[in-house]
Structure 1
Amino acid sequence: MHQKAVHRVPVLIVGGSLVGLSTSVFLGRLGVPHLLVERHSGTSRHPRGRGNNVRTMELFRVAGIEPDIKEAASLLAGNHGILQAPTLVGDAGEWLFKHIDPGGGLARLSPTGWCLCSQNDLEPVLLEGARRLGGDLRYSHQLESFEQDADGVRALVLDRGADKHYTVRADYLVAADGPRSPVRTRLGITQSGPGALFANVSVTFRSKLLADVVGDRRFICCYLTDENADGALLPVDNQEHWVFHVPWHPENGETLDEFTEERLQRHIRRAVGVPDLDVEVTGKASWIAAERVADQYSRGRVFLVGDSAHEMSPTGAFGSNTGIQDAHNLAWKLAAVLDGRAGTGLLDSYHAERRPVALATSARASARSVEHSHPGFAPAPGVGSGRRGGILNVVLGYRYTEGAVLGTDAEQPVIPDGLKLTGAPGTRAPHMWLRRGSERLSTLDLYERSLVLLSDARTTTNWHEAALRIAEAQGVRLDAHRIGADLTPDDTAADWTEVHGTTRDGAILIRPDGFVAWRSPEAVPDPDTTLRKTVGTLLHTV
C-alpha cells in the first residue's frame, strides 16, 4: 500500500557504499539536507578496495574525517608496494613498486598522502561522519521506482524491514547504485568502452601460519604467478586475516559453484607454496573487472556517480577514488543551486568535467593492469594499450578543459604527461603551507564552502575589496584572502604568486572543490566588473 509523499528532501541518494556515503558527507558539510537509501542491511563486511589516493585524502581532510580514517587504517599503515613472485617461499620475486612515494616528494605537493583503508573499515567511518553531519541514512531501504518532472523527482522506496512503501519527493536524485545501476538503466543511458576485462572470486580466509611465510614483506598486494594457482594475496591485519583473489573464467563456462572450499584451499596453498598451510575460508564474493563509462552523467534531475557512471580495472584503485571525487565535484554544485546562489546551468558542468576524467583514468587503469600482468587478465587486442607511466599525474594532475572554468586550454590532454600544479585554470589548486595567527594550514584547507579569491597584500589593485563588495551585494559565497595580511606563507622563502602562476597585482579564484576557476596574472582596470562577470559566468547567474 503506497503512502502519500510525506518525505520532502532536497537530495535523495540511492546507494550507501563508499561513494554514496561520501556524497552524504560532502552534502552534510555544505548544509544540504538529504536522504540516503541502501538496500543492504549495513556497511560492507568484505575487505574490498583499500587504496585511498592522495586526492581523495585531501577531500576527507577538508571534510574533517581524515584522523578517523587514519585510525581505522592503522593496521595496514606500514604496508607499501606491490610484490610479484612465483610463490612466497624463499625470496624470489620482484617489487613492481615498493613505495608509493619514494623520497617523500609528495609532501611538496599535498598536506596529506595515500591511506590504505579497506572498504569494510572505511565505510563505518563515513557512516558515522555522515550521521554526525545530519544525514538521514536508511539501510534496508530500496528504491523501487522513480519519475521526474520539471520540478523534481518522485521516488517510491521500500522499507524492507517493515515491508512498507513510502514516497520521497526530492529536488535531485544522485545514483550511487553500482555498476549494474538500476537508475542508469531506467534512464536509458548507454555505456562506452571495452566492457568486461576479467573476473575474480575474492576469498577471505584465516591463516595463523601465513604471517611467518610472508615475513617482513609488508606489501599492499602480492601477485602470485604459479600457472595453475595464480592470484592476488592481500593482507587484512598482517597477522591471520587475508584476502585472495582467485581468477574466474566464466567465458569458458566456469561457474561459481565450482569454487568449493576445498578447491579454494588447494589453490591458495599452491599459490603461496606451502602444501600444508592452514586455510580457513570465511567468505567469498565474485566480481568482474570492466572498463565502461556512461555516455551521459545526468538526465534531467538525476545524476550518476561512482560505479554507476564508470567501471575501471582495479589496478591502482582508480575506480573508487574517481567515484568519491565525482561526489565532491557534484556536491558543491548542488549546494549552490539549491541555495539559489547559482543557476541550474552549473549542474551541466558535472558531465562536462567528470566524464572526460573517467574516460582517461579508466584507460590508464587498464594499461596499468597490463603493465603489472594482473592475474587472470588476458587483454583483448588494443585493450590496455594506452599510455602508462607515473601515477601522480593521473591522481593529482587531471584537469577540466571545459565546464565551470574560464581560461582553460581545450587542446591540453585531460591527464598530462607530467605533473605541474601551477595554478592553471581547470587544475587542482597548488598546495603551500600558510599561517593564520598561530594556526598552520594548507591553502587546500581554505576551499570547501565558497569560492575563494587569493590576492597579494602588496598590490594596489583592489581585488580583495571587489570580492567583498560582490559577496555582499549579490549574496554570493565568496571569501577573499590577502596573502601577506590575514594569511602569510609559513616558509618565508615561498612566493605564493610564483606558486600560483600570477603576480602581486594579479588574483586567482578557486572553486569550493579546490580547482582553479579563473586566474588574472596581472592587474585589470576595473576589478569589480571583471570579478562580477567572472563569478556570474561561472555560477550561471548572468
Structure 2
Amino acid sequence: MIDSSTDRSQPLVEQVPVLVVGAGLAGLSTAMFLGMHGITSLVVERHATTATHPKARGQMPTVMEAFRVAGIDDAVRRAGYDTSLPMEIVIGPSLLGTPYKTLVESFDFDLTSISPTGMGMASQEAVEPILADRAGAWGARVQFRTELDGFTVDDEGVTAELIDLQTGGRRTVRADYLVGADGWRTTTRGAVGIGAHGHGALSHWVNTIFRADLGAPMEGREFALVYLQNPELQGGTGVFGGTDEPGRYVLSFAFDPEQGEQFSDFTEADCIEQIRIGIGDLDLEVELLDRAETEFAHRLADSYVAGRVVLAGDAAHVMPPTGGQGGNTAVLDGFDLGWKLAMIIKGEAGPGLLASYDVERRAFGEWIAEYQYQNLLQRMTPGGAEKDGGEAGRDPLDLMFGSRVVDGAVCPEPDDDHELVEHVVTADSRPGSRAQHVWLQRDGEQISTRDLFGRSFVILAADPAWRQAAGQVSDQLGVPLDVQVVGGDDLVDPAAQFAARYGVGEDGASLVRPDGFVAWRTEGAADPAALADAVRRVLSLSTVG
C-alpha cells in the first residue's frame, strides 16, 4: 500500500517487524521479498514519489529470476525496451560519430541453456512503482514525504523517530530491524558507526535532460548508450542515453572542482552547447528540460550489519554507473535480505544468519564495484577505449551467473577453492554456487529447476526416500523444507541431466536456499541426521533439539 496522505492515526509507538528507510530499488525490493515471505514492513521515503529522473536501466537474468519468483517479471519486461531490437552501447566521440569501440550491439542473448528467463531493459523509474505495488499487496506500507530523524538501537530492536515533511508531525516507530536503504547520501551508515573505504570521489558531472529530434540518428535503434570521449566536450568525457519517453534524452559531461569549476558555472546555453557536441550536430534544436549535479564515487561500507541495523543498496556500496550493476546489486541485496530476515523473525533461523548477509553481499559488492570502476576507466576516461583487462574483461556470463556465497550460509565441501566468482561453463552446483538451470517437465509443461526455488529451502533429489528424511528434520527443527523428487511421474527429467548437473547421483540430494544458491549436497542415501546438521549450520540454529 502506497500512502501519500498526511492523516495517519497511529499509536503513540507504532510496532513493525522491519522499518525500511528509503523507497529506491534496494528498499522496495527488501519490502517486497519480506512480504513474499510473510513479514510486513514500513517503508519511509523523504521524497514525494518514487524515482522520476533517469537513473539505472537494465535487469540481469538473475534479477529477472528473482522478479519471476515474485510474479513481476512480465510486468518489468513490458515496462522496458524490446530486447529483440537493436540496442547499442558504444564508446565514441559523439552519437553521430564513428564509434571507437562497440561494447554491445543487442541484448537479445540466447541464455536458455543457463536460465529460464532473459534480460530486462526497464528503467528504475518504471520498476520502482511495480516493486511498490507488489510490496503493498503483501502488506508493506510505503509512506512518502517521511524522513528518519534519528534512532536508537538495543538488543531487542530499534526505536526510530519519523517526521512527516508536509505537516511537521513526529511519531515513534519500534521495529525488530531497521534496513538502511537511504542511498549514497546515507545517514544510517554513519549513525551506527560503520566506516567506508574505496577509491572515494572520482568525478563530478552535470546531468542534463533534454528534448530533441534525433529521428535519423536513432532510426532502427530501440536504445543507444554512448560513452563519450571527445576533447571538445567539457572535461573531455561524458555519456548520452535515451529515456522511457521518445524524444527525451540525457547527456552528462564532467567538470573538475579542483580546477575551480562549479556546477553553478554552467548556464543553460553552456549545457545546450555540450549537448550539441555530444550529439555531433552543432546546429541541433535543443530544449533543455532539467540539469542536476552528481558525483561518481567508489565508496564501500566496512560492514553491512551493525546489530539490528542492516545496510542495502547505495547505502552499502556506492559505485560508478558504468556497467549498469548498481541497481541490479541493490535488488539482489533485497532478495537475499528478504528471506534471511523473515526466517530470523519467524524463529526459523538463529540471529547469526544475518552475519551471512554481511559476508556474502559485502564480498560481492566489493567485486562488482571494482568491475564498475574498471569500466569507468575504460569507457569514460580520455583514451580509455584502448584499454582492456582487469575485471572489466571478464566473461559476461560469469558476471551474470558465476557469483558464489561459499563463505556465508552454506556447508562448503572440503576441496572447495573458495573462489568468489566461477566460470559458468565449468560450474557444477557445488555448495556456495548457483543451483543450475535444468529443464524438466511437470504435467506436460516445461519447467526449470530455477522455478522450484524462492519461497523456502528446497531439497532436490532423485530418491523419494528424501521426503521422509526431510519431514523428520522439518518437524524437529521447525524449518519448512520443500522436497522435489526429480525423475518421477510428477517431475520428469527428459534429458536425464539432473543427477550429473547437481553432482548428487541417484541416491543423494541438494539443499537449495530460497535465493537459489546451493547450501549443501551429498551423494549419500537419505540421512535425516546429516540433513539436520546441514540445516542447523546454514541457519545458525542451536545444536540442541
TM-score by length of 2: 0.91
Q: Is the 8 A contact 1:47 1:119 kept in 2?
A: yes
Instruction: Provide the C-alpha distance between the structure 2 equivalents of 1:29 and 1:4, rounded to a whole number of angstroms.
Output: 26
What is the CA deviation profile of residues 443-495 of structure 1, one whole-angstrom value per residue up to 9, with x for unaligned ones?
112112211101104x7xx22210022223432111101102264346x2242
Matches within 5 A, 1:80-99: 80-89=87-96, 93-99=100-106
The alpha-carbon deviation at position 438 of structure 1 amounts to 4.0
Instruction: Provide the C-alpha distance between the structure 2 equivalents of 1:133 and 1:536, rounded to a whole number of angstroms.
Output: 29
Matches within 5 A, 1:95-134: 95-100=102-107, 104=110, 106-134=111-139
User: 2:172 maps to which residue?
Assistant: 167
1:29 to 36, 40, 44: 36
Q: Does 1:463 align with 2:471?
A: no
Q: Is the 8 A contact 1:315 1:366 kept in 2?
A: yes
Q: Does 1:206 align with 2:211?
A: yes
Q: Is the 8 A contact 1:502 1:520 kept in 2?
A: yes
Specify whether residues 390 and 142 from structure 1 end up closer, same or farther in structure 2 by C-alpha distance, changes over 3 A only. same
What is the CA deviation profile of residues 485-508 of structure 1, one whole-angstrom value per residue up to 9, with x for unaligned ones?
264346x22421111122011110
1:513 to 512, 515, 540: 515
Could you tell me which amino acid in structure 1 is paired with residue 412 of structure 2?
G
Instruction: Provide the C-alpha distance between the structure 2 equivalents of 1:480 and 1:130, rounded to a whole number of angstroms.
Output: 28
Matches within 5 A, 1:291-306: 291-306=298-313
What is the CA deviation profile of residues 269-290 of structure 1, one whole-angstrom value per residue up to 9, with x for unaligned ones?
1221212212111122222122
Q: Does 1:442 align with 2:442?
A: no
Q: Does 1:136 align with 2:138?
A: no
- Following superposition, which runs of at least 4 residues in structure 1 exceed 6 angstroms of deviation? 376-379
Could you tell me which amino acid in structure 1 is paired with residue 341 of structure 2?
L
Stretch of structure 1 that moved more, 54-63 or 220-229: 220-229
Give secondary structure in 1 for the equivalent of 2:87: coil
- Pairwise CA RMSD: 2.4
Count of equivalent residues? 528
The alpha-carbon deviation at position 315 of structure 1 amounts to 1.4
Instruction: Provide the C-alpha distance between the structure 2 equivalents of 1:452 and 1:252, rounded to a whole number of angstroms.
Output: 57
2:225 to 194, 199, 221: 221
Stretch of structure 1 that moved more, 340-349 or 429-438: 429-438
Q: Is the 8 A contact 1:397 1:428 kept in 2?
A: yes
Could you tell me which amino acid in structure 1 is paired with residue 420 of structure 2?
V
The alpha-carbon deviation at position 213 of structure 1 amounts to 2.5
Structure 2 gap ranges (5+): 1-9
Instruction: Provide the C-alpha distance between the structure 1 equivalents of 2:240 and 2:14, rounded to a whole number of angstroms.
Output: 46
User: 2:504 maps to which residue?
Assistant: 502
Matches within 5 A, 1:176-195: 176-195=181-200
Instruction: Provide the C-alpha distance between the structure 1 equivalents of 2:375 and 2:43, rounded to a whole number of angstroms.
Output: 34
Give secondary structure in 2 for the equivalent of 1:108: coil
User: 2:530 maps to which residue?
Assistant: 530
Instruction: Provide the C-alpha distance between the structure 1 equivalents of 2:140 and 2:11, rounded to a whole number of angstroms.
Output: 22
Q: Is the 8 A contact 1:248 1:376 kept in 2?
A: no
Q: Is the 8 A contact 2:356 2:409 kept in 1?
A: yes
Could you tell me which amino acid in structure 1 is paired with residue 256 of structure 2?
H
2:259 to 252, 262, 283: 252
Instruction: Provide the C-alpha distance between the structure 2 equivalents of 1:473 and 1:388, rounded to a whole number of angstroms.
Output: 48
Stretch of structure 1 that moved more, 199-208 or 52-61: 199-208
Matches within 5 A, 1:356-505: 356-371=363-378, 373-374=379-380, 388-408=393-413, 411-416=417-422, 419-457=425-463, 462-485=465-488, 487-489=490-492, 492-505=494-507
Could you tell me which amino acid in structure 1 is paired with residue 207 of structure 2?
S
Could you tell me which amino acid in structure 1 is paired with residue 437 of structure 2?
H
Give secondary structure in 1 for the equivalent of 2:131: helix
The alpha-carbon deviation at position 171 of structure 1 amounts to 0.3
Could you tell me which amino acid in structure 2 is paired with residue 263 of structure 1?
D
Give secondary structure in 2 for the equivalent of 1:234: strand
Instruction: Provide the C-alpha distance between the structure 1 equivalents of 2:19 and 2:481, rounded to a whole number of angstroms.
Output: 27
Instruction: Provide the C-alpha distance between the structure 2 equivalents of 1:450 and 1:213, rounded to a whole number of angstroms.
Output: 49
User: 1:353 maps to which residue?
Assistant: 360
Instruction: Provide the C-alpha distance between the structure 1 equivalents of 2:502 and 2:417, rounded to a whole number of angstroms.
Output: 21
Matches within 5 A, 1:32-71: 32-71=39-78
Structure 1 gap ranges (5+): none
Give secondary structure in 1 for the equivalent of 2:285: coil
The alpha-carbon deviation at position 387 of structure 1 amounts to 6.2
User: 1:275 maps to which residue?
Assistant: 282
Instruction: Provide the C-alpha distance between the structure 1 equivalents of 2:245 and 2:145, rounded to a whole number of angstroms.
Output: 33
The alpha-carbon deviation at position 400 of structure 1 amounts to 1.2
Stretch of structure 1 that moved more, 335-344 or 231-240: 231-240
TM-score by length of 1: 0.92
Could you tell me which amino acid in structure 1 is paired with residue 418 of structure 2?
Q
Instruction: Provide the C-alpha distance between the structure 1 equivalents of 2:470 and 2:455, rounded to a whole number of angstroms.
Output: 16
Specify whether residues 471 and 276 from structure 1 end up closer, same or farther in structure 2 by C-alpha distance, changes over 3 A only. same
Could you tell me which amino acid in structure 1 is paired with residue 47 of structure 2?
H
Could you tell me which amino acid in structure 1 is paired with residue 398 of structure 2?
N
Instruction: Provide the C-alpha distance between the structure 2 equivalents of 1:538 and 1:224, rounded to a whole number of angstroms.
Output: 47
Q: Is the 8 A contact 1:370 1:384 kept in 2?
A: no
Q: Is the 8 A contact 2:402 2:434 kept in 1?
A: yes
Instruction: Provide the C-alpha distance between the structure 2 equivalents of 1:305 and 1:248, rounded to a whole number of angstroms.
Output: 29
The alpha-carbon deviation at position 146 of structure 1 amounts to 0.3
1:342 to 349, 354, 359: 349
What is the CA deviation profile of residues 175-201 of structure 1, one whole-angstrom value per residue up to 9, with x for unaligned ones?
001112101011111112111222222
Instruction: Provide the C-alpha distance between the structure 2 equivalents of 1:200 and 1:377, rounded to a whole number of angstroms.
Output: 19
The alpha-carbon deviation at position 293 of structure 1 amounts to 1.4
User: 2:269 maps to which residue?
Assistant: 262
Q: Is the 8 A contact 2:229 2:382 kept in 1?
A: no
What is the CA deviation profile of residues 51-85 of structure 1, one whole-angstrom value per residue up to 9, with x for unaligned ones?
21111111111111111111111467635231223
Could you tell me which amino acid in structure 2 is paired with residue 196 of structure 1?
A
What is the CA deviation profile of residues 150-184 of structure 1, one whole-angstrom value per residue up to 9, with x for unaligned ones?
11100000011221000000000000011121010
Instruction: Provide the C-alpha distance between the structure 2 equivalents of 1:417 and 1:498, rounded to a whole number of angstroms.
Output: 17
Give secondary structure in 1 for the equivalent of 2:278: helix
Specify whether residues 226 and 139 from structure 1 end up closer, same or farther in structure 2 by C-alpha distance, changes over 3 A only. same
Instruction: Provide the C-alpha distance between the structure 2 equivalents of 1:284 and 1:157, rounded to a whole number of angstroms.
Output: 31
